[in-house]
Amino acid sequence: MYEIKYVLYGILILITIIIILLSMKTDTNAIYMKSKITNNVIVKPPKNIGSNPHIVNLSKLSYENGTPIFPRMGFLLGIVRHNGYLPNEGIDPDLACLEDDVNKLLTSDLGDYKITGTYDFDKIWDHEFYNGKHPLTNNDLKIYNLKIRHVSGWSDTCMIYYKLDKDNYYYPWHTLKSYNSKKEWEMNTTKYAKYNGGFKIITNDGIKPLSTLYDNPEYLGKVGVVYKKEYFKDFCLEKYYDKELYIPVGSCDILKDQYGENVFTTIISKSKKGKEETLDEYYKH
């Protein structure tokens, strides 16, 4: 009788331990949704454009391949904040991958999609911001982006988030001196920086404000935005019109690092010289 009693007690304790362990298990999608709620993301109906089937296919194929190709910059902001493209900008499906996944992407079979690498640094970029070298080691980056082509003729470019150090990735600042360098400089130094976001100078002595770029000749070419590796430890699905795309679980933090802490309550229009409006104000137009 006593032996049975102790066996039952043992089983009860084991069940309790299992329940506790299961409750402690982190669900990546739950983390992301909690982050959205915490940041008061306001989701409004996106432009009635519809999803791009190639982007949807690539998201699924690359994720299942263990090498996610995911939205970046304004496209990621549109997905998280509006579930589609940004309502104040054109259709611009910016894509990125992690440097760790580049070699596998180049050798993987993704069906009707072929991926090739760009190994020559494109001189069109503003070299005061981006010189094609790693900001800490000053070594050439060797591969600068990936070209994605479908048998139908559709194509797109996938940019690379490079390894900065053991804890961080970084994305170099690509601007065209004769086209958007001045405008982007003003947006980053006067708008995003005000809320602790925007591109910054990456040095061995730490991260410096972009506004100090011309204070030291050694800063030139070392501009980028830094993202913690933990932001990309897993991926979860987010709505993209009537479809879904895989995005990093740390997307909310990625966007705050990129655009500032007010990114989910304020919309800044590049076409209106950086005019700032709350999302509610914007949607009253």
CB 171 within 8 A of CB 159: yes
Tokens representing 179 are 């086209």
Q: What is the pLDDT of residues 113-129, one digit of tens each?
A: 999 999 999 888 999 99
Q: Rounded CA gap, 47 and 34, in Å?
A: 26
Tokens representing 127 are 């070299």
Distances (CA, A) of 174 to 171, 203, 282: 9, 18, 28
Tokens representing 226 are 């830094």
Q: What is the pLDDT of residues 231-240, one digit of tens each?
A: 999 999 999 9
pTM attached to this predicted model: 0.85
Helix (H) or strand (E) holding 13: helix 2-24
Helix (H, G, I), strand (E, B) or coil at 209: coil
Distances (CA, A) of 10 to 7, 105, 140, 152, 215: 5, 50, 61, 63, 69
Q: What is the pLDDT of residues 30-70, one digit of tens each?
A: 444 444 544 445 455 555 567 899 999 999 999 999 999 99
Q: What secondary structure letter does DSSP report for 190? A: I
Beta-strand runs (E) in 99-255: 113-118, 145-150, 155-163, 168-172, 200-203, 206-208, 223-228, 235-240, 243-248
Q: Please name the residues in contact with 209: beta carbons below 8 A apart, sequence gap of 6 or more.
A: 189, 193, 200, 201
Question: In which residue are the tokens 């580049």 written?
Answer: 102
Q: What is the pLDDT of residues 182-217, one digit of tens each?
A: 999 999 999 999 999 999 999 999 999 999 999 999
